[in-house]
A and B are shown apart, each in its own frame.
Chain A
Amino acid sequence: MKNSVPLLKRMRESRLFWPIVAMALILLVDAIFAPGFFKVGILDGHLYGNIVDAFNNSAPLMLVSLGMTLVIATGGVDLSVGAVIAISAAMGAVLINPALGNKLITNDILTKDATNTPLWLIVLATLGAGTLCGLWNGLLVSRAKIQPMVATLILMVAGRGIAQLITNGQIMTIYFTPYFWFGNGFILGLPVSIYIVALVFIIAWVLVRKTSIGLFIESVGINAKATYYSGISEKNIKLFVYIFSGFCAAIAGLILSSYVHSADGNNNGLNYELDAILAVVIGGTLMSGGRFSLLASLVGALIIWTFTITMYTFGVPANALLAGRAVLVLLVILLYSDYARRLLNRIFSLG
């Protein structure tokens, strides 16, 4: 009698149900008020349109939310992702042209479409810088036993300073064309960033669902002490998730700096920590840790950007959009609160 549970209820208990409902609501509003929203065309052999934009723009956020999901699943939080994005972006820009920060050098050297460092080394160093930041966070949390919020707050405050230190306080414009591929390139008509997200997602998914790491992460999130006593190295699990989060933020930094052709210590990845947490929460992972869903977090990130692009379509100025995003958070909070759920369940069970 497995099927005795009604389909509607089974759907409602799925982790993906609420995020998808939210997504559908936003798309419904689009369909009614902005019929042009769904238009997808082909330009120079690439797909373009709002939907493609939503995917392309949300790629960095998706990556960051993947890392954030695992961190939050262990009961922690990583506030430093925005700063890590800035650090890795700065790293990439500096390696492309070490003279960029120097005002004394002539303009044609600065704007040269060339680099002294091979591209693979740039990518490696960019990712390495972010991973190192993650390692630092992980060591503070797992070895020094500092509360995750505080431990990552340190890098959040200091990180943007470090990024500016790397770029010598300049906003560095990048002129090296092959570097732009990560943020602006296309494979088979789709943006490269989508493939990168898919790749990282698959790696993460295999790692947490096909090995025992995912189970360990959940058990650390539910009860770290019990996990320790059952012989699992809870320290290393925590270390791993922060390193992974740093790594994801570094890829996001790579894509972002390549997308905007510049590295700006103050503004690269601004508010990303907040958006990533929001994406994870929309995805239904509890801030207190425990069960998590990577896919739901991706949908959460996509919701945030679809919402943003929708608002742009309606002509809401970018700055005022913050208030709109706040309303979105409020809705999510209400939707996920126990009271609202109980009420909804009652309505559903009546029907």
Chain B
Amino acid sequence: MTLKIKNFIIKNAPLLTTITIFILVFIMGGVLYPAMQKPQVFFNLFINTASLLIVSIGMTFVIITRGIDLSVAGMIAMTSAASAALLAKGANIFIVVPLMLVMGITFGFALGCIIHYLKVQPFIVTLMGLFFARGMAYIITLEALPIKDPVYRMLALTKVHIPLFEKTYLYIPSLIGPILLIIAIYLSHWTRFGRTVYAIGNNEQSARLMGLPVGRTIITVYALSGFCSALAGIVWSISLLSGYGGYAPGMELDAIASVVIGGTLLTGGVGGVIGTLFGVLINGTIVSLLQFNGTLSSWWTRIGVGLLTLIFIGIQSIFYMRRKHA
């Protein structure tokens, strides 16, 4: 039994470190600022990081296949701007939302095709995607467009009370991330697609030799990431009730940092979406710590996230080297 536990710990070391650090940071916050002990603060993390969680889930799949998707934040901006413009023209929300999701999938699909068929590095292709999406958003509208759609307002302002905890609530859009997370966990661990994703990340050559559909999977992964970012864009525009090309600046970096903090290796093949959840939560906790402090300025967030990324990469490389030597 002890051996089993030991094996479990060794196997999941990066994930456990992430969770431990999250708990430590959160407890530290609670000790420093007693107001942070309220359960609502924990749920606020989900409200504040709703979009980040969604894009990070898509990003995790991409990074596991050894790729990277820099276009996510651009996609959020484009989705928010496009949906705001369509809604302002009087389009029905039940047409707009599916349309946006299809747009995201198509966009990701196109990027995936360029990456796979033209053999260009994902880094450059998705960078182009970022430029393109942001540019398109600015072509749609040069200033922030308000959204006055009643359904959007309803979604944005309805509180969902959480059972067991008194006086705690979430908004409807912040539920999408956790639901997507459950789907993503199922997808990555119990489906053929998920297995193929890990196989490609570990060694694309042998995945191909095993007869796995490498090309199809890579394209699907980017399409999935496009879908996630479009979804995140809708969530973003619901929570801000507006659309603008400058939204979510630098979120691709936050997403990558969250994925890395969550224990997924950028070299591919190792990691998972559960870690990503905690990476995102750590990111959110740092932000709320700064808010509770009040005197520290916003730039400490960036420094803090950078430092944490450094620490995690350090931990990862130690584990990685050990495994290599063993």
Contacts and interface: CB of A to CB of B under 8 A. Distances in A.
Interface of A: 77, 144-147, 149-151, 153-162, 164-165, 169, 265, 274, 277-278, 281, 287, 317, 319-327, 329-330, 333-334, 336-339
A287 B121 contact: yes
A157 B317 contact: no
B319 interface: no
A319 B245 contact: yes
Given A157-B257, A158-B302, A165-B299, A147 B135 contact: no
B314 interface: yes
B129 A326 contact: yes
Interface residues of B, number: 43
Interface string B127-153: 111111011101100100000000000
B302 A160 contact: yes
Given A150-B260, A169-B297, A277 B303 contact: no
A161 B297 CA distance: 10
A287 B124 CA distance: 9
A160 B256 CA distance: 17
Interface stretch (B112-120, B174-182, B232-240): B112-120
Given A147-B267, A150-B260, A322 B131 contact: yes
Contact of B128 (A145, A159, A330): A330
Contacts, number: 122
Contact of B142 (A155, A317, A327): A317
B301 interface: yes
B306 interface: yes
A283 to B, nearest CB: 13
9 contacts: A146-B313, A149-B123, A153-B256, A158-B306, A159-B306, A164-B297, A320-B138, A324-B135, A339-B118
B128 A326 contact: yes
A165 B306 CA distance: 14
A159 B303 CA distance: 7
Contacts of A161: 299-303, 306
Nearest to A322: B135
Contacts of A274: 127, 130-131
B35 interface: no
A281 B124 contact: yes
Given A158-B306, A165-B303, 7 more contacts: A154-B310, A161-B303, A164-B299, A277-B123, A281-B124, A287-B123, A334-B118
B307 interface: yes
Indicate the member of A150, A274, A320, A337 with the most B CB atoms within 10 Å: A150
B144 to A, nearest CB: 13
